[in-house]
Amino acid sequence: MPASPFRTITPGTLPGPDWHQLLLGAVAPRPIAFASTISAAGEVNLSPFSFFNVFSSNPTTFVFSPANRVRDNTQKHTLENVREVAEVVINICDYALVEQMSLASCEYPRGVDEFVKAGLTAAPSDHVRPPRVLECPASFECVVEQVVSVGDGPGSGNLIICRAVQAHFREDILLPSGLGIDPHKFEAVARLGGDWYSRVTPDSLFLVPKPNRNLGIGFDELPAHIRHSEWLTGNELGRLANIEREAVPTAAQVEEFKAEPMVAYLLNKHRDDTPELRKQLTLLGQQLLAEGRVAEAWKTLLLIQEQ
């Protein structure tokens, strides 16, 4: 159950800046497109946008939105540039570059080169006119296929739909196979609300097995004493429910599990205190889940049914 009541707000009933801050604080963290563009006159612009994501791998399609300024409804130089030269490089920053990226977001006059202002290196692209940021661990050279305006007032979006034609990945962030990014080596950053950002560190990483690898039994097929446990969290129940039916331990396997040292110790120590035994078995099950030992957690929690 929610810890507190909800505040319900209809969009358009708050002043634009107030709604903008609520929206950006709630839809977070957001990846950041550090977009480099060029005008017809050859003026380079570099600016970050957190209304951004990748939407297709084939064709490789990105969308980012230089929204109209909330305070005065003016448009960004990035938007003006892609309408003149339909090309963009989407650079991806890591933590080492976050302050320089933020500096590039200053609203310098049109024609001022943010590469110079932010102390970054403009490296020639292979297939498009805007340069890429040499210091960025990943960059995507893109052609702009469509610009879709979704409004005409302050804060309204301009969806720049672009297709990647070349990509650059710094070798040190790749997995040994070269077929993926190692999250332990790529300190990704993301945008929150206000002045806040988030940073991917080894301590912030966690694994969640993808449900599409198996057909989980679901919450409705969890034993009642597990599903209605006063100690197990929604995340823990979700992990338990993401197991295939044939992987649920049998009664014989649960019986055999009683010989495990920690389990045997708990069964013996609390044999005369059923409520405490149930609690301690649940705590052990939670510990096993935290360690990724789902089958053993299942066996531990099924033992509670016998108490």
The two tokens of residue 274 are 């059923």
Residues 32 and 119: beta-carbon distance below 8 Å: no
pLDDT band at 212 (very low <50, low <70, confident <90, very high): low
Confidence of residue 71 (pLDDT cuts 50, 70, 90): confident
How much is the pLDDT for 1? Answer: 46
Cβ-contact 48, 99 below 8 angstroms: no
Average pLDDT of 246-260?
95
Cβ–Cβ under 8 Å, residues 45 and 36: yes
Residue 248 above 70 pLDDT?
Answer: yes
- CA dist., res. 160 & res. 146, Å (int): 6
CA atoms within 13 A on the CB side of 298: 23
Q: For residues 95 and 188, give the distance between their C-alpha atoms in angstroms, rounded to a whole number.
A: 6
Give mean pLDDT, residues 207-233: 88
Is the pLDDT at 218 greater than 70? The verdict is yes
3-class SS at 168?
strand
Contact by Cβ (8 Å): 79, 47 = no
Confidence of residue 238 (pLDDT cuts 50, 70, 90): very high
The residue-averaged pLDDT of 105-118 equals: 94
- Residue 244 has φ and ψ, to the nearest 5°, of -70, 150
pLDDT of residue 214: 73
Which ranges constitute the DSSP H helices of the chain?
16-26, 77-84, 98-104, 114-117, 224-227, 234-241, 251-257, 261-269, 274-290, 294-304
Top mean-pLDDT range of 2-16, 45-59, 70-84 = 45-59
Say whether pLDDT at 180 is over 70: yes
Looking at residue 210, its pLDDT comes to 73
Compute the average pLDDT of residues 48-70: 96
Q: For the chain, what percent of residues have pLDDT higher than 70? A: 98
Decide if pLDDT at 189 tops 50.
yes
Instruction: Show the domains of the chain with their CATH numbers.
Output: 16-204 (2.30.110.10), 211-304 (no CATH)
Quick one: pLDDT at residue 207? 83
**Whole-number Å distance between alpha carbons of 79 and 86:** 10
Q: What is the pLDDT of residues 193-205, one digit of tens each?
A: 999 999 999 999 9
Q: How far apart are CA 127 and CA 120, in angstroms?
A: 20
Q: Is the peptide bond before 31 cis (omega within 30 degrees of 0)?
A: no
Instruction: List, in sequence order, every residue forming a beta bridge with 181; answer none if it has no partner.
Output: 174
Phi and psi of 214, rounded to 5°?
-155, 165
Q: What is the mean pLDDT of residues 59-86?
A: 94
Q: What pTM did the predictor assign? A: 0.87
The arithmetic mean of pLDDT across residues 256-265, rounded, is 94
Give the closest residue to 125 by CA, choosing from 116, 136, 117: 136
CA dist 287 and 232 (Å) reads: 11
pLDDT in tens, 163-174: 999 999 999 999
Predicted local confidence at residue 115, as pLDDT: 96
Q: How many CB atoms lie within 10 A of CB 16?
A: 15
Average predicted confidence (pLDDT) for the chain: 94
